[in-house]
Structure 1
Amino acid sequence: MNEKINVLGVNIDSFTAKEAMKETIAFLESELVSVIDVVSVDALMQMNDLPELKEKMNEFDMILPGEKLILEAAEEPELPEEINMKLYLKMFMRYLHKNHKRLYLLVESEEEGQEAFRYLQKAYSGVQLVGLAKVSAEGRADDMLVNAINGSEVDCVLSALSVPLQEDFIAKNRNLLDARVWIGVGKKIFSPRKPGFGQGKIAKYLLNHIFRREMEKNKLKMKS
């Protein structure tokens, strides 16, 4: 049974990967566009000062925790396999392939587009990638992009954009899209690059520490 967990003002779904996939299949079979967003600790921290955007996010159909720490800090511990987003995305891609669903990809640069294309070809060679477009925070042309997506007659839009560009774009344009599902997976999902020695672990440790402090402050505010 799914429960909504409020994490820094964002209502997170505590689905297992299989439960999330079951919901996604139902979305793909519906007529209206459904919005799924996979959020990270970093994303939640960046949106902490954007209350209006968080309100719009809470209207999304499903918000999934991309990291175990999100539920741990909310004092809602889950088994690692129950929040395995890699497993969820793997099942999702396999479903698209098996059922001949059409996919449109959003990235922020040509380099990211090439990386994403190589990744999809290697890991999910049978997925029908029918379109790819760059989205920039500066000089956005939402109307042209929406028309391009709708003209491609896609089933799913996969968004690999940074926060808050990703959430802002779909919040403003969801009612204009003809796709069945829009899923935001974040900018780092296709990047093969690894941080330098120590850099990644130290940065992640500090971010996680700050995140836990923000969660504690939020709990104290709610009690007072």
Structure 2
Amino acid sequence: MNAETRERMNILGVLLDQTDYQKAYRQAERFLDSSGNKVIVTPNAEIIMAAQKNPELRAALNSADLCLPDGIGVVIASKILGKPLAERTTGFDFMMKLLELANKKSLSLFLLGGKPEVAEKAGEKICSMFPNVEIVGCHDGYFGENEEIEVVNLINHTKPDILLVAMGCPKQEIFMIKNKNKMQFKIAMGVGGSFDVLSGNVQRAPQFVQNIGLEWLYRLIMQPSRLKRVGALPAFLVKVISHRTINN
């Protein structure tokens, strides 16, 4: 999936790569061997819906070097549009594959995001699972625009191979693209709430629930406060169906 042969599909204005875990893993390997910074994003139905009202977010997603389709809603939408995606590539699972690659190549990581001390706990977990990975820096996600340059300078001081950004949408996507050419890294990836999972603060759904595409329901049961966010899924599918009807 080189830049000149990159195959993407348009879902409500967001360009998603037609890829799977294996192809995305190989692309990450190429990113590490190439010059320049590369950004990976993983939009789901909720993020694509947010991009409808946020042009800066949509531009950030479409400017990324790899845009992975995350969530069962995006997979269903691709089928509705007649261009079925190969598979759902969840952000957390691909992050773990990226960490496996980092371990294989003995790479360095910077963890940015989460509440104070969460990134550090996530870093400890990563080091226990991937002993060849070096955590060169951590910083929480609670900083304003006036402190952004300090965070960028901190990242540049450590020069990580991989920058994991867990600040949630749209902050993480916009931060990565806005500062892409100001920071020194090989790959930056937006990972949402993954540090909370790694640190043990949040538990993922059992594997069989993930396999049948109902992880969103499990998370809703465990965190009822997510009800408003989950409501984006049916609205997203209705909008996709309407879009196809109008354009057929």
Task: Please give the range of the TM-score, normalised by the shorter of the 2 chains.
Answer: 0.7 to 0.9
Whole-angstrom CA distance in 2 between matches of 1:62 and 1:106: 19
89-98 vs 101-110, greater mean Cα deviation:
89-98
Write the distance in 2 (CA, Å) between the matches of 1:189 and 1:215. 31
Query: For 1:68-83, what aligned pairs fall within 5 Å after superposition?
Result: 68-75=72-79, 76-78=83-85, 80=87, 83=89
- Is structure 2 residue 243 aligned with structure 1 residue 218? yes
Q: Residues 40 and 66 of structure 1 are in contact (CA less than 8 Å); yes or no, is this contact kept in structure 2?
A: yes
Relative to structure 1, is the Cα distance of residues 85 and 141 closer, same or farther in structure 2, using a 3 angstrom cutoff?
A: closer
Indicate the residue corresponding to 1:47 in structure 2: 51
What is the rounded CA distance, in whole Å, between the counterparts of 1:51 and 1:42 in structure 2?
15
Q: Counterpart of 2:106 in 1: which secondary structure?
A: coil
> More helix per residue: 1 or 2?
2
Q: What is the CA deviation profile of residues 57-104 of structure 1, one whole-angstrom value per residue up to 9, with x for unaligned ones?
A: 212111001213202212233455x63655533331111012111100
Aligned to 1:186: 192
Decide whether the 8 Å contact of 2:110 with 2:155 is kept in 1: yes
Which ranges of structure 1 fall in alignment gaps of 5 or more residues? none
Distance 1:31 1:149 in 2: 18
Pick from 9, 14, 18: which aligns with 2:13?
9
Residue 32 (str. 1) matches residue 36 (str. 2): yes
For the pair 1:96 / 2:102, whether they are aligned, the reply is yes
Whole-Å separation in 2 of the counterparts to 1:181 and 1:137: 22
Q: Distance in 2 between matches of 1:151 and 1:69?
A: 40
Identity %: 23
SS of aligned partner of 1:116: helix
Structure 2, unpaired ranges of 5+ = 204-218
The structure-2 alpha-carbon separation of the partners of 1:198 and 1:135, relative to structure 1 and needing over 3 Å to count, comes to closer
Decide whether the 8 Å contact of 1:18 with 1:88 is kept in 2.
no
Bigger mean CA deviation after superposition, 51-60 or 164-173: 51-60
2-structure distance, mates of 1:158, 1:103:
7
Task: Tell which has more relative contact order, 1 or 2 (C-alpha 8 A, sep 6+).
Answer: 1
TM-score by length of 1: 0.85
Distance in 2, Cα, partners of 1:86 & 1:57: 17
1:14 Cα deviation (Å)?
A: 1.8
The separation in 1 between residues aligned to 2:232 and 2:134, in whole angstroms, is: 37
Determine if contact 1:74/1:215 at 8 Å carries over to the other structure.
Answer: no
Greater alpha carbon shift after TM alignment, 120-129 vs 169-178: 120-129
State the partner residue of 1:156: 162
2:116 is aligned to 110
Query: 1:21 is matched with which residue?
Result: 25
- Mapped partners of 2:20, 2:164: distance in 1: 20
Return closer, same or farther for 1:140/1:44 CA change in 2, 3 Å cut-off: farther
CA shift digits 1:2-57 (9 cap, x unpaired): 63111221100121101001111111111200111112222222222012331232
